[in-house]
């Protein structure tokens, strides 16, 4: 679940921090208040509300209960409202009425991460639903009653008042003078007329008798525009890819695209658990590598190799800050052979470390961060199963798992380059007691020397970090330019969009996310019968993405940069029109659906199905894949452009133009929300991928503006001088020269 600008004084009634909540939502199916609504006592409300309360619980992959929250019936046909953090992601969900009746959850009918809201659909009808009120009309000081399962105490009730309305990041929450505890989350907050005005969400860290609720008006748009996801698919979200991995001995293994996380205690001896790749390693010799980070160095997690179907294998892993090589020849500790446990100066505690193993006939070699740790004669286990393992109550994260005949470590820098960067510079040996005593005798001079030395090191660290960042940005730029300089039909749009995201996320695994798109396309392709027309295939694509998989527009957190990162759009199924179009076009192409194009309306982006000689169809991917007429599209574009727009005459966007639009969004959002300096890396990419001199000149003028605002007058002048020297059409040389002269004067 994507976290947004967390409320500093709040703690969620559950394991997850409160997500941002939108302020203005369209109202739907509003309960019309009576002139003089009845006022119920708390006892009467309990009798009316309790039959509609639902206890919600989730379980981990090992079957253990993870948390309890509250929901309530909002539609007799089987809709249950709650907080999204109660449901969580990737977890089976259990629902039980106060009567004890178990309800089968069949889908997440609608959800909104930023509002922290979810609606579940259960396989039941004739349920007693609670009426929804109008939270905007609930007066401060009004009496309210909250229901829930605080600390697991089911079907509890507490009365209080609406003590205020508090805005967090311009978002209004209902502040209630009620003690809130874990388990209350998702429960209804009612007025004395029995109408739901909010969903209990968070407690204050300042006092026990204060909490917050999400206004119920924010729930209503989800009823109007659901984005359903079948539970079977929801539970798969973030789960280990069972087509690639098989899990053994419990623990909680999860996968989010290219990374695998594990937590909890395995059922094996010492809390051991492991997963193996279904595909076998090549015939020896072969190598296997992974990059791993342990949250607690007291635990252990790393590689397994040489495995067989009986669960015997070798393991190479960090444990207690050292590196260990073990032969696991049985399930119990007496059948394990520790082949070595050694410290390594190359190992970085608490950081990412690259483990690599080579298994040859009769010999095993192991490296950490390119430095050899073990080279032992060993041939007892010769299987070809490889994978990952963990021990004890370890939380660890893995990335970049690869198994092949031979691998380059890629972790050792050439000596001449390392020297150019200052060399390895090993840490000096600890001072002796005699040296410490001598320093104390010259304390003022020692303190001055140490302060100056620390400042120099801090400056050097800053320089090195900036150099590393620049090297990364230059590589992203070169990769993106190379991708977009291909012929249109050869450009991989998804890869280009992921390269944009990699600018801010250096560890982004492009391969994993591209595979995720291919998997979606392949799944859809398997459903497309030969008798279907292309229009019917487009309709199946629309339903597949927006109804089955729950992709939807980010209505309440539109300008968040995450909506422009294709990987996070795939993770959260939420994005902008442009990024959702990338998903639609990429999955459609993989499924073999032709004639799909992007339509660049002003202020909006659509997808068009345009078969040769057939009728066009416009698809609003931001609005659940809704079909639009050209008149509706004209209205959207004209409203944004503030002048008439004729969508039928807008030519399809090229892939380069789509990437430029994506970068333009990131540049403008970041400049507005952060600073011109923060937006400059996107401007640099826009200049690099402009594609022709006229477009590049336009981007250089904008970059000159940003550079001048950050004080880089030399850089701004260089951009303008490039335009003067290049002389692309459409630019007045005299005006450019005047701008250059003003910059020169300002710099003197």
The conformation of residue 292, written as its DSSP 8-state character, comes to E
pLDDT of res. 187: 92
* Phi, psi dihedrals of residue 657, rounded to the nearest 5°: -65, -35
List alpha helices for 563-712, DSSP H: 566-572, 577-591, 630-641, 655-673, 676-688, 693-709
Sign of CA dihedral 329, 332, 334, 339: positive
The predicted-structure confidence for 410-450, as pLDDT tens digits, reads as follows: 556 677 777 777 776 666 778 899 999 999 999 999 999 99
Tokens of 318: 């960090």
Where is 473: in which H helix or E strand? helix 443-484
- What's the rounded mean pLDDT across residues 184-204? 87
Whole-Å CA distances, 7 to 67, 111, 360, 491, 614: 22, 20, 54, 42, 52
E strands present in 169-219: 171-176, 188-191, 196-204, 211-215
Where is 365: in which H helix or E strand? strand 363-368
- What's the rounded mean pLDDT across residues 340-366? 94
HSE (CB half, 13 Å, CA atoms) of 27? 13
How many CB atoms lie under 10 A from the CB of residue 524?
A: 23
What average pLDDT is seen over the chain? 87
pLDDT of res. 183: 59
Tokens of 100: 């004890």
DSSP states along 428-467: PPPPPHHHHHHHHHTHHHHHHHHHHHHHHHHHHHHHHHHH
How many CB atoms lie under 10 A from the CB of residue 259?
A: 18
pLDDT of res. 130: 96
Non-local (6+) Cβ contacts of 74 within 8 A are 80, 81, 119, 129, 130, 132, 196, 219, 223
pLDDT of res. 154: 65
Tokens of 533: 């027309």
pLDDT of res. 23: 38
Please check the confidence at residue 296 and state whether its pLDDT lies above 90.
no
From 68, 49, 71, 50, select the one nearest 59 (Cα to Cα).
68
- Predicted confidence band of residue 168 (pLDDT cuts 50, 70, 90): low
Three-state secondary structure call for residue 596: strand
List alpha helices for 556-654, DSSP H: 566-572, 577-591, 630-641
Comparison of pLDDT for 407 and 713, the residue scoring more: 713
Please check the confidence at residue 499 and state whether its pLDDT lies above 80.
yes
Whole-Å CA distances, 196 to 46, 127, 188, 487, 665: 13, 16, 6, 57, 38
- Do 648 and 615 contact (CB within 8 A), yes or no? no
- Do 269 and 255 contact (CB within 8 A), yes or no? no
Three-state secondary structure call for residue 216: helix
From 336, 326, 410, select the one nearest 376 (Cα to Cα).
326
Write down the domain spans for the chain: 10-234, 245-404, 488-653, 659-747
With tokens 């401060």, the residue in question is 140
pLDDT of res. 181: 61
Non-local (6+) Cβ contacts of 274 within 8 A are 247, 248, 249, 266, 268, 304, 313, 387, 388, 389, 390
The predicted-structure confidence for 64-77, as pLDDT tens digits, reads as follows: 455 678 999 999 99
Where is 164: in which H helix or E strand? strand 156-168
How many CB atoms lie under 10 A from the CB of residue 673?
A: 12
Packing angle between helix 443-484 and helix 493-502, nearest 10 degrees?
170
- Predicted confidence band of residue 564 (pLDDT cuts 50, 70, 90): very high
DSSP states along 32-100: PPPSS-----HHHHHHHHGGGEEEEEEE-TTS-EEEEEEEEEEETTTEEEEEHHHH-SSS-EEEEETTS
From 511, 549, 519, select the one nearest 243 (Cα to Cα).
519
From 248, 257, 307, 276, select the one nearest 511 (Cα to Cα).
257
- What's the rounded mean pLDDT across residues 146-152? 72
CATH number for the region 10-234 comes to 2.40.10.120
Tokens of 467: 């150099």
Please check the confidence at residue 157 and state whether its pLDDT lies above 80.
yes
Non-local (6+) Cβ contacts of 236 within 8 A are 90
Q: Which residues pair with 67 in a beta bridge?
A: 58
Q: Which residues pair with 102 in a beta bridge?
A: 96
pLDDT of res. 21: 35
Instruction: Give the separation between CA 426 and CA 110, rounded to whole angstroms.
Output: 55
Comparison of pLDDT for 416 and 679, the residue scoring more: 679
Kindly give the pairing relationship between strand 53-59 and strand 211-215.
unpaired
Q: What is the CA radius of gyration of the chain?
A: 30
Where is 649: in which H helix or E strand? none
Three-state secondary structure call for residue 495: helix
Tokens of 199: 């969903």
- Predicted confidence band of residue 1 (pLDDT cuts 50, 70, 90): very low
Sign of CA dihedral 692, 693, 698, 702: positive
Three-state secondary structure call for residue 105: strand
- What's the rounded mean pLDDT across residues 141-151? 84
Instruction: Give the separation between CA 575 and CA 579, rounded to whole angstroms.
Output: 6
List alpha helices for 283-423, DSSP H: 415-420
From 142, 141, 83, 146, select the one nearest 115 (Cα to Cα).
83
Instruction: Give the separation between CA 198 and CA 415, rounded to whole angstroms.
Output: 63
Instruction: Give the separation between CA 260 and CA 502, rounded to whole angstroms.
Output: 19
- Predicted confidence band of residue 2 (pLDDT cuts 50, 70, 90): very low
Please check the confidence at residue 206 and state whether its pLDDT lies above 50.
no
Please check the confidence at residue 728 and state whether its pLDDT lies above 70.
yes
Non-local (6+) Cβ contacts of 486 within 8 A are none
Angle, vertex CA 733, rays to CA 729 and CA 739, nearest 5: 125
HSE (CB half, 13 Å, CA atoms) of 186? 36
Tokens of 493: 């749009």
- Do 422 and 468 contact (CB within 8 A), yes or no? no
- The pTM of the full predicted model, rounded to 2 decimals, is 0.77
Instruction: Give the separation between CA 48 and CA 42, rounded to whole angstroms.
Output: 10
- Do 357 and 335 contact (CB within 8 A), yes or no? no
Tokens of 334: 């007496």
- Predicted confidence band of residue 30 (pLDDT cuts 50, 70, 90): very low
The predicted-structure confidence for 379-400, as pLDDT tens digits, reads as follows: 999 999 999 999 998 899 999 9
Left, alpha or beta for 150 (phi > 0: left; psi -120 to 50: alpha)? beta
245-404 placed in CATH 2.60.120.560: yes
List alpha helices for 137-257, DSSP H: 220-224, 231-236
Tokens of 61: 């992959």
pLDDT of res. 91: 63
Please check the confidence at residue 485 and state whether its pLDDT lies above 70.
yes
What is the percent of the chain with per-residue pLDDT over 90, rounded to a whole number?
64
Domain 659-747: which CATH number of 1.10.472, 1.25.40, 1.20.120, 3.40.50: 1.25.40
Please check the confidence at residue 18 and state whether its pLDDT lies above 50.
no
From 370, 375, 374, 373, select the one nearest 353 (Cα to Cα).
370
- Do 61 and 253 contact (CB within 8 A), yes or no? yes
Tokens of 183: 């388990």
What is the percent of the chain with per-residue pLDDT over 70, rounded to a whole number?
88
Please check the confidence at residue 43 and state whether its pLDDT lies above 80.
yes
Instruction: Give the separation between CA 567 and CA 574, rounded to whole angstroms.
Output: 10
Angle, vertex CA 252, rays to CA 258 and CA 119, nearest 5: 85
């Amino acid at each position: 679940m994507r976290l947004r600008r967390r409320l500093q004084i709040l703690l969620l009634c559950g394991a997850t921090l409160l997500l941002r909540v939108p302020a203005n939502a369209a109202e739907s199916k509003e309960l019309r208040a009576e002139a003089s609504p009845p006022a119920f006592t708390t006892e009467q409300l309990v009798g009316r509300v309790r039959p509609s309360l639902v206890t919600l619980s989730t379980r981990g992959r090992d079957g253990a209960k993870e948390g309890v929250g509250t929901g309530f019936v909002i539609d007799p046909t089987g809709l249950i409202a709650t907080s999204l953090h109660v449901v969580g992601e990737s977890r089976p969900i259990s629902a039980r009425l106060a009567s004890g009746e178990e309800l089968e959850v069949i889908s997440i009918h609608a959800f909104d991460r930023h509002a922290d809201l979810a609606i579940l659909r259960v396989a039941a009808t004739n349920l007693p639903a609670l009426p929804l009120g109008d939270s905007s009309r609930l007066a401060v000081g009004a009496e309210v009653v909250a229901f829930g399962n605080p600390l697991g105490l089911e079907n509890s009730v507490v009365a209080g008042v609406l003590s205020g309305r508090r805005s967090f990041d311009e978002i209004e929450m209902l502040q209630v003078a009620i003690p809130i505890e874990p388990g209350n989350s998702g429960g209804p907050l009612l007025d004395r007329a029995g109408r739901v005005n909010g969903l209990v969400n968070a407690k204050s860290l300042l006092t026990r008798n204060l909490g917050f609720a999400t206004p119920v008006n924010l729930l209503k748009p989800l009823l109007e525009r659901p984005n359903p996801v079948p539970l079977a698919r929801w539970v798969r979200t973030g789960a280990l890819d069972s087509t690639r991995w098989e899990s053994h001995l419990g623990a909680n293994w999860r996968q989010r695209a290219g990374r695998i996380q594990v937590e909890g205690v395995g059922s094996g001896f010492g809390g051991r658990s492991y997963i193996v790749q279904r595909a076998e390693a090549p015939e020896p010799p072969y190598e296997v590598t992974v990059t791993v980070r342990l949250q607690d160095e007291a635990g252990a997690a790393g590689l397994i190799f040489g495995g067989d179907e009986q669960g015997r294998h070798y393991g190479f892993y960090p444990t207690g800050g050292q590196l260990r090589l073990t032969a696991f020849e049985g399930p119990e500790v007496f059948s394990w052979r520790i082949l070595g446990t050694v410290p390594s100066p190359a190992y970085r505690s608490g950081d990412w470390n690259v483990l690599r193993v080579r298994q040859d006939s009769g010999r095993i070699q192991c490296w950490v961060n390119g430095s050899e740790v073990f080279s032992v004669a060993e041939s007892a286990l010769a299987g070809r199963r490889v994978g990952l393992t963990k021990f004890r109550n370890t939380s660890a994260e893995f990335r970049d798992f690869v198994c092949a005949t031979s691998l380059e470590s890629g972790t050792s820098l050439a000596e001449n380059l390392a020297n150019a960067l200052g060399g390895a510079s090993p840490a000096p040996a600890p001072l002796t007691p005699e040296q410490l005593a001598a320093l104390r005798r010259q304390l003022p001079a020692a303190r001055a020397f140490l302060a100056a030395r620390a400042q120099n090191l801090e400056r050097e660290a800053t320089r090195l970090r900036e150099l590393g960042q620049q090297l990364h940005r230059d590589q992203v730029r070169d990769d993106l330019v190379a991708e977009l300089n291909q012929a249109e039909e050869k450009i991989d749009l998804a890869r280009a969009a992921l390269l944009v995201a990699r600018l801010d996320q250096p560890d982004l695994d492009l391969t994993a996310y591209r595979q995720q798109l291919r998997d979606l396309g392949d799944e859809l392709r398997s459903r497309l019968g030969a008798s279907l027309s292309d229009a019917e295939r487009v309709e199946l694509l629309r339903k597949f993405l927006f109804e089955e998989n729950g992709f939807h527009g980010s209505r309440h957190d539109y300008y968040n940069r995450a909506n422009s990162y294709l990987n996070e759009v795939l993770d959260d199924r939420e994005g902008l029109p442009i990024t959702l179009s990338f998903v639609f076009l990429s999955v459609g192409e993989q499924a073999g659906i032709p004639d799909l194009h992007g339509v660049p309306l002003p202020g909006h982006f659509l997808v068009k199905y345009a078969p040769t000689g057939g009728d066009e169809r416009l698809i609003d991917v931001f609005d659940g894949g809704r079909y639009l007429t050209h008149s509706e599209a004209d209205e959207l574009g004209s409203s944004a452009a503030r002048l008439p727009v004729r969508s039928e005459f807008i030519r399809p966007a090229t892939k380069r133009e789509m990437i430029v639009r994506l970068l333009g969004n990131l540049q403008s959002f970041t400049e507005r929300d952060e600073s011109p300096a923060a937006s400059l890396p996107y401007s640099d990419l826009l200049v690099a991928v402009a594609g022709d001199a006229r477009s590049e000149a336009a981007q250089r003028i904008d970059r000159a503006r940003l550079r001048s605002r950050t004080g880089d007058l030399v850089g701004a002048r260089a951009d303008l001088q490039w335009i003067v020297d290049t002389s692309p059409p459409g630019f007045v040389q005299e005006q450019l020269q005047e701008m250059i002269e003003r910059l020169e004067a300002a710099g003197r």
